[in-house]
Amino acid sequence: MRKLFCLLLICTAAFFEGCERKVPAAPAALPEVRGVKLRNLPFTPSQLVIAEVKPMDEVNLVARVEGFLRKRHFKEGARVKKGQLLFEIEPELYQAKVKAAQAKLTKARVASKNADTDYKRQRQLLSTKAVSERSFDRVEAAKLESDADVKNAEAELEIARQNLSYTRITAPFDGVVGLSNFSDGNLVNANSGTLATVVKNDVMRVEFVVSELQLLNLLHRRKNAARDFKFELITQDGKVYPHPGKISFWDNKVNTSTGTFRIQAEFPNTNGALTAGMFGRVRMTSLKAQQALIVPEEALMVDQAGEYLYTVSADGTVSRRNVKIAYREKGFAAVKSGVKSGMIVIDSGVQHVRPGGKCKVQLHEPAFKNSAVKTVTPGKKNK
């Protein structure tokens, strides 16, 4: 009995001793991340700047003579042709002035003819000493005075005819006429201000400013700007205007107050989609591709020390790499320094890793949504 009791004590002690032994914990699983292998890719850089749409030509129609508006010959907001009659000011007074000027010219010509006849006669008589030189001088002076009266009358007739023409206000070019500021019957003159405005909108000017750095990039290729750059207009609704533009104006100096330079580009407006006063953005895209290490936008991080990337070595160790960015655009960035081609950069799951730690990386090909980057299919030669 005592032996049995001792045996039970021994078994119980052995049982509790076994329970106190710790089972070794399984090693922690490495965090899984996604990464891309860096390589040089071709990309086309572009720049966005604020722009304003302006008409190709704009003219304020004003009265140059005084009179009552006889009739308005256009529909407000309608298209007009060059030379089309728009306003008519009562012409009767100016027609009468033309007739008066014609009569004065006729009278001056008659007097001039008589003076010329006397001059010729007196000159013959002077050659035979039949008249004195003093008498001849008076006749010659009368002839010169009558000639001047003819020229003065001709000038007055021209002014009268010109004033008569001002009673008909016509369109200076093909375009669209705006609202009329005066109705038929109003008395107008040179101080009345704008009667209406005509704008030429088959081609529109889009004005924008660039920084000095952007200007230097453009000036290097100014002669071939039309060939080296594509100019697109993005309207306020975010849509790209279907017709590209071309530079038509370069300012002659940089604004020293703002450090900017003014440029204008022409955009066709045959469908009338652009209106003067609109705001939008001009995108200047280089048509010559550049090569750089391209990283997805998601991989790039920033803190007080600057921008950086997380790279993964062959044994899975995570490292921080401070980088300098040469160019960035939505969806990607071109790295200037800090990393090299062939390195693996984490672009998904960076929140699960820390520098010096290890991870399990799954490589994938980045799908850049931005068309400025030309992706390369592994195994195929990049053109």
Q: At what angle do helices 133-165 and 92-127 cross, to 10 degrees?
A: 160
* pLDDT for 13: 55
C-alpha to C-alpha distance for 326 and 318, rounded to whole angstroms: 24
Query: Of 249, 265, 263, 272, whose CA–CA distance to 201 is shortest?
Result: 272
- Supply φ then ψ for residue 111, to 5 degrees: -60, -40
Strand 32-37 relative to strand 344-348: parallel, antiparallel, unpaired?
antiparallel
Is pLDDT above 90 for 214?
Answer: no
**Alpha carbons 234 and 51: distance in angstroms, whole number:** 9
- Average pLDDT, integer, range 13-33: 64
Give the whole-angstrom CA distance, residue 265 versus residue 272: 17
12: pLDDT strictly greater than 80:
no
Give me the residues paired with residue 311 across strands: 319, 345
> Percent of the chain beyond pLDDT 70?
86
CA distance 351 to 34: 12
Catalogue all structural domains in the chain, each as residue range(s) with its CATH number: 32-43+290-363 (2.40.420.20), 48-56+199-286 (2.40.30.170), 91-166 (1.10.287.470)
Q: Which residues contact 27 (CB under 8 A, 6 or more apart)?
A: none
pLDDT at 45: 79
The predicted model scores a pTM of 0.63
Q: Say whether pLDDT at 280 is over 80.
A: yes
Residue 246 CA to residue 267 CA, distance in Å, equals 7
Structure confidence at residue 115 (pLDDT): 86
The tens digit of pLDDT for each residue in 260-279 reads: 899 999 999 988 889 889 99
For residue 101, give the DSSP letter.
Answer: H
The pLDDT of 159-176, averaged and rounded, is 94
Task: Please provide residue 8's backbone torsions phi and psi, each rounded to the nearest 5 degrees.
Answer: -65, -35
Residue 154 backbone zone (phi > 0: left; psi -120 to 50: alpha; other: beta): alpha
Q: Which residues pair with 33 in a beta bridge?
A: 361
**Tokens at 175, concatenated:** 């375009």
DSSP 146: H
Residue 25 is classified by DSSP as P
Question: How many CB atoms are located within 10 Å of the residue 254 CB?
Answer: 16
Which backbone phi and psi does 348 adopt, to 5 degrees? Answer: -150, 130
Distance, in Å, from the CA atom of 365 to the CA atom of 34, rounded to the nearest integer, reads 10
Q: Give the pLDDT of residue 23.
A: 53
Give the highest mean pLDDT range of 37-51, 138-152, 188-202, 217-231.
188-202
The residue ranking higher by pLDDT, 228 or 141, is: 141
More confident residue, 28 or 241: 241
CA distances from 225 to 89, 190, 207, 247, 267 (A): 49, 44, 16, 8, 15
